[in-house]
Amino acid sequence: MSGGVSLVMPMAGRGSRFARAGETRPKPLIELAGAPFFWWACESLRRAVPVEEMVFVVLAEHCRDHGIDRAILFHYPQARIVALPEVTAGAAETAMLGVKALRSRAPLAINDCDHAFRAPHMGRAVEEMRAGRIAGALLGFASQDPAYSYMRLDAQGAVCGTVEKQVVSPHAIAGCYWFASPDEMRGRYAAYRASCSYPELFMSGLYNQMLAEGARIGRIEARRHVSFGTPEECARLDPVRFAADFGPAPRKAPPA
């Protein structure tokens, strides 16, 4: 693959489901198999493609009270951090604030902090974006669970839309969203925000805006995908198997 890609990781949510379950740490800092959530998500991407620029979007209060900025820089000293004073209207708005901090025009991944994946063919999609054949791509995995967002496919198997929390195909959307460049996201965000019919600005909805404007969206199949975005998903995980699939964990960061 020629050149690296950019990563923006939106991590400025409240993690309310974990808080209600008694967790006091911000969701990205919860440990799984010896490493914080965000590390597993970052390394999933870094194992698939070379990453040259990293921006993490966090809450300022999580820096102050939990040292989330120090934890990020311990693992990724080259990363840049955007600290927000309050939560936004959704993941797409949070991500957009990170995109504004990017310096590179390389293909861009917006990657959630609460999943891990193996996607050996991701590099092919990046090359398709570099060549101008697709404007973006969605990482998917097989599911029939209405808890996820889904790709809608046409008769030829191409992505023709996205739907929240409805099983409209066997292809659930994993939390890794690709754009051929930061400008692809910037150029569609305002129109998406103005027309969004959901109570929050989901990332997947941006692709409906892109498709409506004639863009072609690729599909990447994850060979293995594990979500740990809720306490229930975490409870179902076997940490030993997880570490075997996605490990080994890094050395631990010092206490915040």
The model carries a pTM of 0.95
- CATH 3.90.550.10 given to domain 5-241: yes
Residues of the chain falling short of pLDDT 50: none
186: Cα separation from own chain's centroid:
17
d(CA 206, CA 189): 7
Q: Among residues 117, 45, 95, which one has the least CA distance to residue 201?
A: 95
- In tens, the pLDDT along 142-172 reads 999 999 999 999 999 999 999 998 999 999 9
Check if the beta carbon of residue 210 is closer than 8 Å to that of residue 217: yes
d(CA 191, CA 14): 26
Amino acid at 181: S
Check if the beta carbon of residue 206 is closer than 8 Å to that of residue 108: no
**Domain residue extents for the chain:** 5-241
d(CA 105, CA 90): 24
Measured in Å, how far apart are the chain's first and last C-alpha atoms?
37
Beta strand pairing status for 171-179 and 108-111? antiparallel
Sorted by sequence, the CB contacts under 8 Å of residue 250 that are 6+ apart come out as 35, 39, 75
Q: Give the model's pLDDT for residue 15.
A: 86
Sorted by sequence, the CB contacts under 8 Å of residue 77 that are 6+ apart come out as none
DSSP H or E stretch at residue 221: strand 217-221
CB-count exposure of residue 20 (10 Å: 0-12, 13-18, 19+): exposed
d(CA 94, CA 89): 8
